[in-house]
A and B are shown apart, each in its own frame.
Chain A
Amino acid sequence: MILALDDTVDLTRILLRIAGFFRDESCGQCVPCRVGTVRQEEALLRIAHNGRSPGSNAGDILLLRDVGQVMKDASICGLGQAAWNAVESAIDRLGALEETR
């Protein structure tokens, strides 16, 4: 899926919106998705709140990668397996979250 946004958009807030969506849509049957979508949203909330200083989000980005990987590898269905796609591509391709505003 491709989402087209211009450069005035606050990526962290878009990612938070997407993470919130996946958390709401998780059915709750399997652990990686049920708890993973919550931990993903919590990490993004922390990043959104503490923002500024470069490098300060490294721990939460590692956490996002770890949680994302288990959701992708071990969730029962496609919802959990895709729940971290947007966050992954924002970190890897756009360098988002590292130096938020």
Chain B
Amino acid sequence: MTATHERTPVEMGMPVRLVTLSVDGQEVSVPEGSTLLDACTAVGEDIPTLCYGDTLTPKNACRVCMVEVEGSRVLVPSCSRKVTENVVVRTDTERVRHSRRLVLELLGSSVDLSTTPHVEEWMAEYAADPGRFGPPAPEDLHRDVHEPGEHHAGDGSVAETMEQPDKVDNDLYVRDYSKCILCYKCVDACGTQWQNTFAIQVAGRGFESQISTEFNVELPESACVYCGNCIEVCPTGALSFKSEYDMRAEGTWNEDEQTQTTTLCTFCGVGCNLTLHVQDNTIVKVSSPHDHSVGHGNLCIKGRFGFQHVQNR
């Protein structure tokens, strides 16, 4: 019997059709199924996003990535709208810029965006003035109480906000909903899209909406399994490691001095990747690479929070 050359088949995937469209006058071709955001990124447009998550289904909630599409009555969210042949997209019209500016002003006037990446640059780029709606209302101690019936209108002298006490009810992570833009990413990561734990949901509606556990119980009493996948996707820092929260309070949190090392989680054989954030030779936070084929940015309580033993010296 003669030796045959064994050849391994190479996985090519299904052939993908290219769709050609126009972005700000430039013609661009992207694979079918791409979003307008993908096409805009391909031509080098930098579109701001907040509720968009690379591992989640778009929720279309923040409305900061809106673009103008020829023939459309309203602006469209670029993070979710799929490309179609010959569609004409504009990202820098007066209408788009007005919409971006106002969304930033509405968010900036109602939410603490101090730990949201890029927001300062965007505020400057779109000349947003969140202070124009008046002085912010004081902290609300009853945001988790949802009364039936009509809301109580004030006299317009202060601008209502999300300002409320931080929820520090366990040793692992903190929920500071004064920083919450209600993007739904934590809810989706906790629910059907990844964890299937369903510990949190949106309670109430309209401006009274709040992310909440069932009956607003504290986290240890809730269904939470402390996987921290909600922290991984939170775009504003409303959810943060207790270690980060404490260091920020002390004024010692310094991202410029931190190193990030991606390694393999050793707790079991699944093969999740961990990225250890280290400051002063101490692990201060753990994240997970979103493009990793095993976990897609998700971990369990052991990988996310089980790092203290490393530091017992």
Contact = CB atoms under 8 A, between A and B. Distances in A.
B209 A45 contact: no
A81 interface: yes
Contacts of A35: 106-107, 109-110, 207
Interface of A: 16, 20, 23-32, 34-39, 41-49, 63, 66-67, 69-70, 72-76, 81
Contacts of A73: 66, 74-75, 95, 98-99
The residue in B60, B153, B154 that gathers the most chain A C-beta atoms within 10 A of its C-beta is: B153
24 contacts: A16-B153, A20-B150, A27-B205, A29-B61, A30-B60, A31-B61, A31-B103, A31-B107, A31-B181, A35-B207, A41-B156, A42-B133, A42-B159, A42-B160, A45-B154, A49-B156, A63-B132, A66-B102, A67-B102, A69-B98, A73-B99, A74-B102, A76-B61, A76-B63
B202 interface: yes
Interface of B: 59-64, 66, 74-75, 95, 98-99, 102-103, 106-107, 109-110, 132-134, 150-151, 153-157, 159-160, 181-182, 184, 202, 204-209
10 closest pairs, A vs B, by CB? A45-B156, A70-B102, A28-B209, A46-B156, A35-B106, A26-B206, A42-B156, A74-B63, A28-B206, A74-B99
Contacts, number: 122
Contacts of A16: 153
Contacts of B133: 39, 42, 63
Contacts of B209: 28, 34
B78 to A, nearest CB: 12
A38 B102 CA distance: 14
A70 B106 contact: yes
